[in-house]
């Protein structure tokens, strides 16, 4: 299914307003280059999963953005992607914060909306290595949609998808994709955002 929807949600009417899914945003060669660059950097282990922060460190415990948490400019391998996202029209100006999350089989992230006061109106996330299913939910209208995130794909959240719908990665070791059980392997997500300070 070219929409990226899993078999479970094939009969859902549409993706949420403001969600754009772009398969093959990076090639296999680009993905391998990015993974090599990421794995050459130190990881933080203060969450249940390993993470890397670039541009600004975001404190998930206090859910607050501070200018003094500036880490420096994005490294060139991420700056190129940030500029590519901007030139493609996803951001008005180049995003200045990136978080890299590592998900091992069985790991996920609970349903959430990215901090509204901390980040701009667009969130973009690139998936590398493994596929997985992301669950989107609009509790106001009791609707759920499962979206398959393939390696090399990008999803962009704006509008309702950014501010109203939650998104989550269920913590499990496999997903049902197109009616088939697909085991997960190691996955990296690169999430690009614009910082906001109050």
pLDDT tens sequence across 52-66? 999 999 877 777 778
Instruction: State the pLDDT confidence band at 46, using cuts at 50, 70 and 90.
Output: confident
> Are residues 107 and 49 in contact, defined by beta-carbon separation less than 8 angstroms?
yes
* Rg value, the chain, Cα: 16
> Are residues 64 and 53 in contact, defined by beta-carbon separation less than 8 angstroms?
no
Residue 119 has pLDDT above 90, yes or no: yes
Query: Tell me, what's the pLDDT at 6?
Result: 40
Residue 8 has pLDDT above 60, yes or no: no
**What residues contact residue 35 under an 8 Å CB cut-off, 6+ apart?**
128, 129, 188
| CA dist., res. 114 & res. 123, Å (int) | 8
If you search the block for the tokens 């500029």, which residue do you land on? 83
The whole-number average pLDDT for the span 84-88 is 97
Residue 11 has pLDDT above 50, yes or no: no
Query: Tell me, what's the pLDDT at 37?
Result: 98
């Amino acid at each position: 299914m070219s929409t990226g929807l899993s078999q479970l949600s094939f009969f859902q009417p549409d993706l949420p307003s403001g969600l754009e899914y772009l398969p093959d945003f990076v090639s296999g060669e680009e993905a391998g280059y990015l993974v090599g660059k990421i794995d050459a950097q130190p990881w933080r282990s203060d969450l249940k999963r390993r993470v890397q922060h670039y541009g600004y460190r975001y404190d998930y415990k206090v859910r607050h953005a501070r200018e003094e948490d500036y880490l420096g400019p994005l490294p060139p391998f991420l700056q190129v992607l940030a500029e590519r996202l901007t030139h493609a029209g996803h951001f008005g100006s180049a995003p200045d914060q990136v978080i890299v999350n590592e998900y091992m089989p069985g790991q996920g992230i609970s349903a959430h909306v990215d901090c509204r006061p901390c980040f701009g109106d667009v969130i973009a996330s690139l998936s590398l290595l493994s596929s997985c299913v992301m669950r989107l939910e609009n509790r106001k209208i009791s609707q759920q949609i499962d979206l398959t995130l393939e390696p090399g794909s990008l999803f962009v959240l704006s509008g309702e998808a950014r501010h109203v719908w939650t998104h989550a990665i269920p913590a499990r070791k496999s997903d049902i994709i197109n009616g088939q059980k697909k085991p997960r392997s190691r996955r990296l997500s690169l999430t690009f955002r614009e910082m906001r300070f109050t």
